[in-house]
Amino acid sequence: MPTVERRLVVTEEAGLHARPAALFAQTAARYESEVTVARAVEPAAPDAGREVSARSVLALMTLNIRCGDEIVIRAQGTDSSAVVDALALIASPS
């Protein structure tokens, strides 16, 4: 199965908290691909590499992603490109 990964800076004012996190999780759930999100951090940081399911609002909120933070969205499955594109629009609306 294809895997797609995208790094981006969150520009949503609220970051991925409350409503944006709920919209993010609902959108991820509409696709078949398995999707994870991680904070892009330096390797020595305590939460380096910790990925959570993009389908879980609570898991997303534990990452404490704020506006200006860099994240990595990773999807594996038949519709991986589409789900990553959709989630990128939520995290970084133009």
The answer to whether 41 and 47 are in contact (CB under 8 A) is: yes
Helix (H) or strand (E) holding 3: strand 3-9
Q: Would you please indicate which residues are annotated as catalytic (active-site) residues?
A: 17
